[in-house]
Amino acid sequence: MPLISPTAASGDRVRCHIGLSYDHTRRWRSVWAALLAMTAMVAYGCFGPGEPVGPGAAAAEEATKGVLPGLRLPWPAEGQASVLVDGLGSLGGLGRQEPVPIASLAKVMTAYVLLKGHPLARDEPGRAIEVDKTAAYESVSGTETAAPVRAGQRLSQRKLLELMLLPSANNIARFLARWDSGSQKAFVQKMNRAATDLGMKNTIYTGAGGIETTTESTADDQLKLAQEAMKDRTFRSIVAQRSTTVPGSPDPIRNTNELLGSDGVIGLKTGTTTPAGGNLLWATKVRAGGKERLVLGAVLHQRADTSPMEASEAAQDASRSLIRAVRQGLPAALTEGESRT
């Protein structure tokens, strides 16, 4: 019989069971076994049955309640998360609001700045922009997410925004930054000024695409941006698209957000690298309190330092759980809150 048999994996609640033989003919072996068992318990962090251990427990202890304390949400076991109802307020959050890499969530700010400087009506394609050699070369580099474009190809502003936001093309993000400001460095200054204006005090942008690990933010800050970005009808319509196309390319290019089209989800943006882990900004519609409400959420730093596939799945799974809990619980929580006032 093992001395220690944890009933759950690290990061979950663990109970430690001690199995000792009290055969009097082997008394000293039992004493040594007891000592070893206690040592193992310390190593596992299991003193006190049912005590939470690991990074998930630390995050869970930092969960905060929002404007509807009766609504309990299934916060992820690690990283950061935050949820709010537009026009109502925060539904709470989890994890210390300390800056972490956000990967391609940076492209939400890139799109926000571009649409502020070059606004489009919802169905307007915008001006035709000629693709430069750098964007074309980077589209076949194979080292990062990119969209297939050719030097000299003319694509509309909207089409380029679609290519940046849906498949998360870094080459297009940097190209649009150069088109807008002459250089990515100059455009990043605009991004950081916009972050300051939005009150994103724990955010720094160092690139238009987000591949740099030095681009950092928090869940709360990303929701401040998401609220403003979703006010733009063009942005809102683009992030709701499941796919787009590139002239000359036969295959559709799919949106990396696999939650679209289910549970009322209408956006928003994925972001995954090994250092940043899985990140997802999401938007869903919920009928509650007699009207349709926009609910926004941010899930950051899921399964960092693992494979991008594992990290992305973790972020989407955590987001799906939050979305379903909000859709199920928000109507009743609002009714209960109104009855108390």
By annotation, the residues acting in catalysis are: 104, 107, 168
Token pair 């990396």: residue: 256
Torsion of CA 188, 190, 196, 198, to 10 degrees: -110
Q: Token digits for 192?
A: 């950081």
Q: Where are the beta strands (DSSP E) in the chain?
A: 64-65, 80-85, 89-94, 100-101, 128-130, 154-156, 216-217, 243-244, 253-254, 265-273, 277-288, 291-302
DSSP string, 229-293: HTTSHHHHHHHT-SEE--TT--S-EE-S-TTTTSTTEEEEEEEEETTTEEEEEEEEEEEETTEEE
Separation of alpha carbons 283 and 211, rounded Å: 23
Distances (CA, A) of 130 to 119, 152, 227, 230: 18, 5, 31, 28
